[in-house]
Amino acid sequence: MELSSVHTTVNVTYWPALISHIRSAKKMSQEDFAEAVFSNQATVSRWEKGQVVPSFDKQKKIEKLAESAGLSTLAGIAVVVRSSPFAILLVDKDGLIMAASQSSGFQEGLNVRDQISADEVRNYTHFRGELDRVEFWEEGGKHLIYEFSDQSTWASSIVVSVGIRGSVFAVVQKIHM
C-alpha cells in the first residue's frame, strides 16, 4: 500500500454552523456579515443554508471574524499545522486542504487528490477506504496509524480526527521511516 496524503472535497456543515454562530454572537444581520467579509447578502444566505461553500479567501475572512467573536474554529489548529516543521495537513471529509505545513508540499484551498501523482491515487483510495472502514469521519477524537510503502520505502501516517462545530476534520502527519 502507498499513500502520500489524505484526499477529501468540501465539508458543507462547518461553514453554515460557523456563520450562524458568528452572526448570533455579534448580533449581525446577513447584510452586516456580508459587509464584514466583502460579500453580499444573497451569497451569505447561500453559505448559511449550505447551498454553496465560501471560497478559500472568504473562509479566511470568516475565520478571523469568528476569532474576533471569541468562537472556537479551525484557525487554532491551522496555525499549529502551518508552523509545523513536519509534513502535516488539515483536511475536511472531502479532501479539501484547510491548512498545510510548508514541508508537506501541498497547497491550501485545493483538494489533495488534485495535488498527487497518478501513481499515488491508488494508494490514496486505499487509505481513504481505511478511514471509512473505521468510521473515522463520525466523530472527533479518533486516531490511527496507517503504514504504507512505495516499492522500497516504508512509511507511516498518523491521522487524528478533530470535531469542530458538527464537522470532522483530519490532521494527517506523514512520517518517513
Confidence check: pLDDT of 136 > 80: yes
Nearest to 123 by CA among 95, 148, 158, 98: 148
142 within domain boundaries: yes
CB atoms closer than 10 angstroms to residue 49 = 11
Residue whose entry in the numeric block shows the C-alpha cell 478533530 = 162
Q: Which of 68, 84, 104 is the last residue of a domain?
A: 68
The number of distinct structural domains making up the chain is: 2
Q: Are residues 91 and 161 in the same domain?
A: yes
Same domain, 135 and 55: no
Full domain range(s) for residue 28: 14-68
Q: What are phi and psi of 142, to 5 degrees?
A: -90, 155
Q: Of 66, 16, 4, nearest to 36 (Cα)? A: 66
CATH code for the domain of 40: 1.10.260.40
- Domain annotation covers residue 8: no
Domain endpoint, select from 68, 86, 107 = 68
Is residue 126 domain-resident? yes
Domain membership of residue 87 (yes or no) is: yes
Instruction: For 84-112, write each residue's pLDDT tens digit.
Output: 888 999 998 889 898 899 999 999 889 99
Q: Side chain identity at 148, as an amino acid letter?
A: F
Measuring CA to CA, which residue among 171, 154, 144 is closest to residue 87? 171
Cell 510548508 identifies what position? 102
What is the pTM for the complete model shown?
0.66
C-alpha cell at 57: 479567501
The partner residues of 167 in beta bridges, in order of sequence, read 164
Q: How many Å apart are CA 43 and CA 52, to the nearest integer?
A: 8
**Is the domain of 37 the same as that of 110?**
no
Question: For residue 114, what are the contacts with CB-CB under 8 A and spacing of at least 6?
Answer: none
145-154 pLDDT, tens digit each: 888 776 666 7
Residue 90 falls inside a structural domain = yes
